[in-house]
Amino acid sequence: MGLELDYIFHPRSIAVAGASESPEKFGHTYFKNILENFSGNVYPINARATEILGVPTYKSVRDIPGDVDYVVSAVPNRDAIDLVNDCVSKGVKALHFFTARFSESGSEEGAQMERDMLSRARAGGMRILGPNCMGLYYPKEGIAWGRDFPWEHGSVGIISQSGGNAGEIISVGASRGLRFSKVISYGNALDLNEADLIEYLADDPETEIIGGYIEGVRDGPRFVKALRYASSRKPVVFLKGGRTQSGTSMASSHTGALAGAQEVWDAMCRQMGVINAFSMEELLDTIIALTRMPPATGTNLLVGGGTGGKGVMSADECEEEGLYLLPIPGEVRDELISNDPFFGAWVTNPVDGSIMGGSKLTPHEVITLIAKNPSYDAVINGISPSVSTNGSASAAPTRAARMLEHTADLANNQGKPVALVIADFTSENQRLLEATLELRRQCVKDGFAVFPTISRAARAIKRLVDYYRWREETD
């Protein structure tokens, strides 16, 4: 149903209206990205400069000799109507407006411009993305607006009413291992709206998980239908901005969106199995859980790696997130005791590795032994590098590598969701900071779901479990 828009995402040629020589400008970055990565024809449009990055410019889209499928607009808003007219005459299929300051500014003049742009585009059979948005990030096709976005592609599809949030999802998500099929920032949703884009991603074979940031809805009934359809096909996670009075009023000045009642949204998510994230962190954490953990429906949790008081707090936080720290079952306890009577009798869940000095068992052996018991559904393991006292840097990677090996073993051999926790703490100790960053990079590279705190890991696992339970009940 949504793939009728597929042509928009597969242009053969792209022109950038307002392509710029200034490296800080959107019209430069975007053009540079497609020039270097997009396989079709690219054209810079600029009335003053004769060339951009060595490519001769055109004064107007109408001057371009070949076909132009897709135009990106970075022109001032006063030139928007003319650009729509030019694109329609040229037979352009889709026009993305990075250009802003229309209805979202609250001025009647801006709203009127939008109406004109829309009616002219409709009359000419052209679709509009935006205005007031970053448009399309499609790494597989070499299309991106950010300077540091990865070109490696993946299976996560995102729609976002906010360009800044779309960029944050891509950048922060990428550093945590997420790779994207398509990310679409759609701003004021003048023509192409949230329902169109959700339907598209629901049918898009390159997209396995749909995530989104939304402020308001243009077409309520269609949106509900699109969301229900998408959720019946793939996991869908949404973060809604404008939950409160302050947020709603801010949303109106941001994208002109009228945010609906939060209670309606919450109820709709529950009913449709849409995962309702309450912060950017939760949105990303949940997508990471869905992409980097196997399905699970049980809440019996084993926690490792927390020593002493941290273990106590971990237990509190996991239980408060709705998981259950199953006490060590009798048969496991017997096995632990047969290996080491003293520690075997003492050890609990969370496993406190710091009490085990002098034991014949290592913390890793204890965790593995407990984790393999079928009563446990999921594991959270806190890991950290250690830097040796005498200043030698070699100890840290070694220990980190060993920890990683242990955890890989745990994840690979249990077939259960395993979350790693590596604290975000910015140490004053440069070696410890570097070792932490290196450990995190390695864990992310090895495919692990890595979280900065126990409670965020617990919440992500609970979201995963809730989702697959809903799936089970629905199927």
What is the smallest separation between the CB atom of 408 and a second copy, expressed in angstroms? 21
For a second copy, the closer of residues 11 and 350 by Cβ is: 350
Q: Using CB under 8 A, which of the segments 33-41, 137-145, 222-230, 250-258 binds a second copy?
A: 250-258
For a second copy, the closer of residues 155 and 307 by Cβ is: 307
**Where are any strands of DSSP class E within 18-90?**
41-45, 51-52, 55-56, 70-73
Helix, strand, or coil here: 397?
Answer: helix
For a second copy, the closer of residues 175 and 373 by Cβ is: 175
CA separation for the pair 151, 144 (Å, rounded):
9
The residue from 41, 105, 384, 442 that contacts a second copy (CB under 8 A) is 105
Contact status: 37 vs a second copy (CB under 8 A): no
Q: Using CB under 8 A, which of the segments 87-95, 230-238, 310-318, 465-473 binds a second copy?
A: 310-318
For a second copy, the closer of residues 263 and 424 by Cβ is: 424
Strand ranges of the sheet holding 135-137, from the earlier edge strand across to the other edge: 135-137, 180-185, 156-160, 209-214, 236-240, 275-277
Q: Using CB under 8 A, which of the segments 12-20, 83-91, 304-312, 463-471 binds a second copy?
A: 304-312
The residue from 41, 155, 171, 375 that contacts a second copy (CB under 8 A) is 171
**301 within 8 A of 323, measured Cβ to Cβ:** yes
**352 within 8 A of 309, measured Cβ to Cβ:** no
The residue from 93, 101, 120, 140 that contacts a second copy (CB under 8 A) is 101
Identify whether 294 is preceded by a cis peptide bond (ω within 30 of 0).
Answer: no
The residue from 5, 111, 280, 337 that contacts a second copy (CB under 8 A) is 280
What is the smallest separation between the CB atom of 264 and a second copy, expressed in angstroms? 16
How many CB atoms neighbour CB 316 within 10 A? 13
What is the smallest separation between the CB atom of 351 and a second copy, expressed in angstroms? 10
Residues numbered 214-233 forming contacts with a second copy, rule: CB under 8 A: 215
Among 186, 176, 75, residue whose Cα is nearest residue 137: 186
Distances (CA, A) of 391 to 387, 394, 435: 8, 9, 13
For a second copy, the closer of residues 91 and 324 by Cβ is: 324
Site string for a second copy, 324-353 (x = CB under 8 A): xx-x--------------x--xx-xxx-x-
What is the smallest separation between the CB atom of 378 and a second copy, expressed in angstroms? 14
Contact status: 77 vs a second copy (CB under 8 A): no
What is the smallest separation between the CB atom of 370 and a second copy, expressed in angstroms? 14
Residues numbered 380-439 forming contacts with a second copy, rule: CB under 8 A: 388-390, 424-429, 432-433, 437
CA separation for the pair 380, 411 (Å, rounded):
10
Distances (CA, A) of 399 to 232, 386, 396, 405, 444: 44, 7, 5, 10, 17
Query: Do the bridges between strand 51-52 and strand 55-56 make them parallel or antiparallel, or are there none, so unpaired?
Result: antiparallel
Instruction: Enumerate the H helices of 154-279 as residue ranges.
Output: 163-175, 194-203, 220-233, 245-255, 262-272
Residues numbered 141-160 forming contacts with a second copy, rule: CB under 8 A: 147-148, 160
Contact status: 53 vs a second copy (CB under 8 A): no
Site size toward a second copy, by CB under 8 A: 82
Distances (CA, A) of 315 to 324, 417, 463: 9, 18, 18
The residue from 79, 155, 453, 469 that contacts a second copy (CB under 8 A) is 453
CA separation for the pair 99, 113 (Å, rounded):
12
DSSP class per residue in 308-321: HHHHHHHHHHHHHT
The residue from 69, 199, 204, 317 that contacts a second copy (CB under 8 A) is 317
What is the smallest separation between the CB atom of 255 and a second copy, expressed in angstroms? 8
Residue with tokens 């936080």: 317
The residue from 84, 88, 174, 400 that contacts a second copy (CB under 8 A) is 174
CB proximity list for 185: less than 8 A, separation 6 or greater: 133, 134, 135, 136, 137, 145, 160, 161, 162, 163, 166, 167
Contact status: 213 vs a second copy (CB under 8 A): yes
